[in-house]
Amino acid sequence: MRAPLISVIIPTFNRRAELAELLESLTRQSYRPFEVIIVNDCGEPVEPVAELYPELDIKLVTLETNSKHVHARNRGLELARGELIMLCDDDDLLLPGHMERMLAALGDKGLVYSDVEIVEYEWNEAKTIRLPRRRRLFAYECDLAEMRRFSTFVSSGCLYRRRLHGEIGLFDPEVYHYWDWDFFLRAAECVPVGRVPVAGVLYAFSPGGSNNSNKFESMRGYLDKLSAKHGLGPLPTKNFFTLLEEEGVRKRQAESEIVWDGKPTISRWARKMRV
């Protein structure tokens, strides 16, 4: 039986060193076949990074204007040839065996996602290698009712059938910061979804960056749009880690298999920059 082609969609913007580490992690996947679609959102050229990984089936497109990450993902979908889609942010990493595990878990489901480890990095002196400093397991039961109050779905490394977009449409830029929560809720209304209890993805967390929920004012409007779209009622814009400590979220904590050895990922880009 022919193995299904997986299309890995990666939007990127001015993160060449991080992107190189992600591509390095893709070379360590045991599953084949897959294609890699990199959508450069009008950032610095990434061809020099992609060229370092000739064994990967990479399709690269550069947008003429900075359209932001949701539009970039939708552009990647237009180019995807695979029966299955796997999403990944350019600064996250897929651990060895992740694709194979996700495909085995998909079965008759429409979408599966895994647990992750949230990792805080520091750059080496040359700013070519991210050195892990702190790590935290992010593993929560997939309770669909609770997912409407606080989403524990991490899009990086998720796997789903491309035909799902024929039912629910593309990713919605109108909810921007919460595009992934919106995508999960829409998917769960149409197909069976499931959680894979293995921390097969490293999710990059940067203090002071856009992914630490400090920019509450800019996020409030998008959260209100998400709530109105799905009838979620009032939702708080609190610090992400503060929300994790609330009782309703803590009770959903689940056991998960840890597979990362804690070592940094050394990319070919890092080796090249060292020369």
pLDDT tens profile 189-200: 999 999 999 999
In tens, the pLDDT along 10-63 reads 999 999 999 999 999 999 999 999 999 999 999 999 999 999 999 999 999 999
Tokens of 236: 């708080």
Residue 42 phi, psi (nearest 5): 60, 35
Tokens of 30: 């045991």
Q: How many C-beta atoms surround the C-beta of residue 249 within 10 A?
A: 16
In tens, the pLDDT along 92-121 reads 999 999 999 999 999 999 999 999 999 999
Q: How is the chain split into domains, by residue range?
A: 6-274
Q: Which residues pair with 62 in a beta bridge?
A: 40
- Residues sharing a CB contact under 8 Å with residue 173, sequence separation 6 or more, in sequence order: 68, 70, 71, 74, 179
Superfamily of domain 6-274: Spore Coat Polysaccharide Biosynthesis Protein SpsA; Chain A (3.90.550.10)
In tens, the pLDDT along 126-177 reads 999 999 999 999 999 999 999 999 999 999 999 999 999 999 999 999 999 9
| Residue 212: per-residue pLDDT | 38
Mean pLDDT score across all residues of the chain: 94
Inform me whether the pLDDT recorded for 214 exceeds 50.
no
| Rounded CA separation 40/85 (Å) | 18
What pTM does this model have? 0.95
The proportion of the chain whose per-residue pLDDT surpasses 90, expressed as a percent, equals 89
